[in-house]
């Protein structure tokens, strides 16, 4: 072998090393998020704890941090909306980044599960806008000081008041609650069924088909458990790409 081939061989070995290191990092990210979010969610489900338990344990600090930052701009509407906005920024943005690589699609599903939980709890929060009830801070969440909320400190009393739709707060909140629960359940199931295959090197050919598997199982669960129309329709819509491909393959 000539000396000229050594640099080329070294470069190839370096590329293989970097590829293995990246795969290890992807596996670690998937594993850490699974242990940090999916297992606590599974624990809450098994022990019949409300979804809000998971939310207050893990996500609520992101909400309060959003208020702490965005309220500095002095805009009333932005200040009220900033808690929910921050939750979406911390879940949806990294989820979209994860979905750009199939190696960490599991992480994307887990983050969307968290986003669904945020939306669910926001819906519950919205419903009390006409008669404010809740906690005004992270400290309140830790100490359980309920009933300290007023129309001036309740996020959605402020937001809906500025928009002139306070009277519609219950209906908007109920839809948001059901929609968030649907997202949370669909991506929880998708994360569970995809955890071991993805962590052991399996890569979905089409992301929507991967999500469709979880959505189809969720649709069956929603129907059998008597869930609302919102959750059922959401699950069926997300399972359409998978069903379409299946029907195409069997020539229906």
3-state secondary structure of 148: coil
pTM score, whole prediction: 0.85
Per-residue model confidence (pLDDT) at position 183: 96
The residue extents of the domains of the chain are: 20-202
Residue 73: half-sphere exposure toward Cβ, Cα within 13 Å: 12
**Sign of torsion, CA 242 245 246 252?**
positive
Task: Indicate the burial class of 149 (C-beta count within 10 angstroms; 0-12, 13-18, 19 or more).
Answer: buried
Dist. CA 131–CA 80, nearest whole Å: 16
3-state secondary structure 158-186: HHHHHHCCHHHHHHHHHHHHHHHHHHHHH
Show Cβ contacts of residue 201 under 8 Å, excluding neighbours closer than 6 positions: none
Per-residue model confidence (pLDDT) at position 252: 52
Per-residue model confidence (pLDDT) at position 240: 94
Backbone angles phi, psi at 153, to 5 degrees: -115, -10
CA angle 42, 47, 51 (to 5 degrees): 60
Residue 87: half-sphere exposure toward Cβ, Cα within 13 Å: 23
Per-residue model confidence (pLDDT) at position 160: 93
DSSP assignment of 187-205 equals: HHHHHHHHHHHHHTT---S
pLDDT of the chain along its 252 residues, tens only?
Answer: 455 555 667 777 777 777 788 888 888 999 899 988 888 888 877 887 776 676 666 777 888 889 889 989 988 889 889 999 999 999 999 999 999 988 899 999 999 999 999 999 899 989 988 888 665 554 454 445 555 677 777 889 999 999 999 999 999 999 999 999 999 999 999 999 999 888 788 888 889 999 999 999 999 999 999 999 999 999 999 999 998 888 777 665
Are 112 and 87 within 8 A, CB to CB?
no
3-state secondary structure of 131: coil
């Amino acid at each position: 072998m000539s000396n000229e081939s050594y640099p080329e061989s070294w470069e190839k070995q370096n590329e293989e090393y970097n590829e293995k290191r990246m795969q290890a990092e992807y596996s670690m990210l998937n594993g850490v998020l699974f242990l940090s979010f999916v297992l606590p969610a599974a624990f809450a489900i098994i022990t019949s704890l409300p979804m809000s338990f998971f939310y207050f344990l893990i996500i609520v600090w992101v909400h309060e941090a959003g208020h702490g930052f965005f309220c500095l701009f002095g805009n009333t509407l932005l200040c009220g909306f900033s808690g929910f906005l921050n939750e979406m920024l911390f879940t949806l943005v990294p989820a979209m980044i994860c979905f750009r690589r199939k190696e960490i699609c599991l992480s994307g599903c887990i983050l969307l599960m968290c986003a669904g939980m945020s939306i669910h709890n926001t819906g519950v929060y919205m419903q009390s806008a006409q008669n404010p009830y809740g906690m005004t801070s992270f400290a309140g969440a830790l100490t359980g000081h309920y009933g300290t909320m007023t129309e001036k400190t309740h996020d959605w009393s402020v937001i809906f008041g500025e928009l002139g739709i306070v009277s519609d707060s219950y209906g908007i909140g109920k839809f948001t609650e059901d929609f968030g629960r649907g997202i949370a359940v669909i991506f929880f199931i998708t994360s569970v069924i995809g955890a071991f295959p993805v962590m052991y090197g399996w890569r979905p050919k089409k992301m929507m088909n991967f999500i469709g598997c979880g959505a189809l199982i969720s649709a069956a669960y929603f129907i059998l458990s008597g869930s609302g129309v919102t959750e059922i329709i959401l699950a069926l819509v997300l399972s359409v790409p998978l069903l379409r491909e299946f029907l195409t393959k069997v020539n229906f």
